[in-house]
Structure 1
């Protein structure tokens, strides 16, 4: 099912603010991933995927240094280089069990020679992502990113029950537990999206009129017996 125009706008706005806004940089806090996990499990949610993502803008000189450092520091990883539509993508990836890591250097396709360094970790196993976040994430992060570069966290899964039922029970339980202030809502027959601010999550993402630091997307499952969810801090960085 394709996202509605309103949902696409929310995702696009989030990416624009994240990538280009100078005021979006804050201390990374990967503990948010574990907080989301525990709170959703208290509401009997079934988590299927955990994602951690961070990005940083580079100039051409910085890009070359980072590319060399990636090859030196991650010598056992798989490296690829692609070019499409005047954009270059240099990738380093590595998988262990049900956890996958990927670094990417992506060109903007502009003459100014701007690049982005992306680091993404995706896992479908809770024990493995917990161990990784405790022992390895900070080490890899500190090797390639400034200390203030923001970390985005996201979980995906499902709740038992219809969308209407989940909104009145599990969703309300999460919002009340976080004492979250609702900021932007998109409500459709089979979809619900909320952007909010909660003091339970460190620092907000500055917007023109307010701050936000958590997003929830709920969508009716095709079977009708479950409701799929995506929850991210400070924003969801994938389509939902």
Structure 2
């Protein structure tokens, strides 16, 4: 079961076969992140990091001009090129402030029938970086420069407990709060992953014969439990 889930996530990571439904409003991502933060704080969890991710197909003829524009946007950024059996990947990393990091990823599928994709990730550490106005400025600026108004925008939050907690109980609270129907789960001694669907949020991707738009994962290490929440997937894994 775990290998099946990892295989699915691998497809999402390289951007092959993902066709998210568009969000119902401009502020869906912001609302999701606010709700995740409120939930984590209500469970007395320490917030480690968060990410906002935008992802959209790119017309092939735009690739070179987009790369030039990305370099102009992050002139001090570092460029990395990678390749696997599914795609070539061009990554531009840049740090806008001491605590906020931006990353652009251009995914070039090796299957000629698949469209190239552009991914943008804005990330921060701890609660001190969760300034809504600043995050919104970055997201809206990048969206207007490089994406269409229908771009998929995803949220992800990582938090940890001060000790080992009952991850089943915490997930049940999360499930009830957001009215989530659990679709698939993997339970191991120190690691769990649950996928589900809720009408609370608009993004969704196909999973077997159903739709999924939220993941809730836990890992217990060193006497502490780490929790990661992502919509529709744990997008920090891009």
TM-score, normalised relative to structure 2? 0.82
Q: Which residue of 16, 21, 26 maps to 2:22?
A: 26
* Aligned counterpart, 2:215: 215
Cα RMSD between the aligned structures? 2.8
Partners of 2:89 and 2:105 within 8 A in 1: no
* Aligned counterpart, 1:227: 225
Deviates more, 1:230-239 or 1:182-191: 230-239
* Aligned counterpart, 1:104: 105
How many aligned residue pairs are there? 230
SS in structure 1 of the partner of residue 6 of structure 2: helix
C-alpha spacing 1:128/1:161, structure 2 compared with 1 (3 Å): closer
Partners of 2:53 and 2:120 within 8 A in 1: yes
Alignment gaps of 5+ in structure 1: none
C-alpha spacing 1:160/1:71, structure 2 compared with 1 (3 Å): closer
Partners of 1:99 and 1:125 within 8 A in 2: no
* Aligned counterpart, 2:66: 66
Residue 178 of structure 1, CA deviation? 1.1
* Aligned counterpart, 2:7: 9
Residue 49 of structure 1, CA deviation? 0.7
SS in structure 2 of the partner of residue 30 of structure 1: helix
Q: How far apart, in 1, do the equivalents of 2:173 and 2:136 lie?
A: 28
Partners of 1:89 and 1:104 within 8 A in 2: yes
C-alpha spacing 1:55/1:45, structure 2 compared with 1 (3 Å): same
- 1:67-118 Cα distance to aligned partner (Å, 9 max, x none): 233244x164425364657936252523312110112323334567953212
* Aligned counterpart, 2:124: 123
Residue 218 of structure 1, CA deviation? 0.8
C-alpha spacing 1:158/1:207, structure 2 compared with 1 (3 Å): same
TM-score, normalised relative to structure 1? 0.81
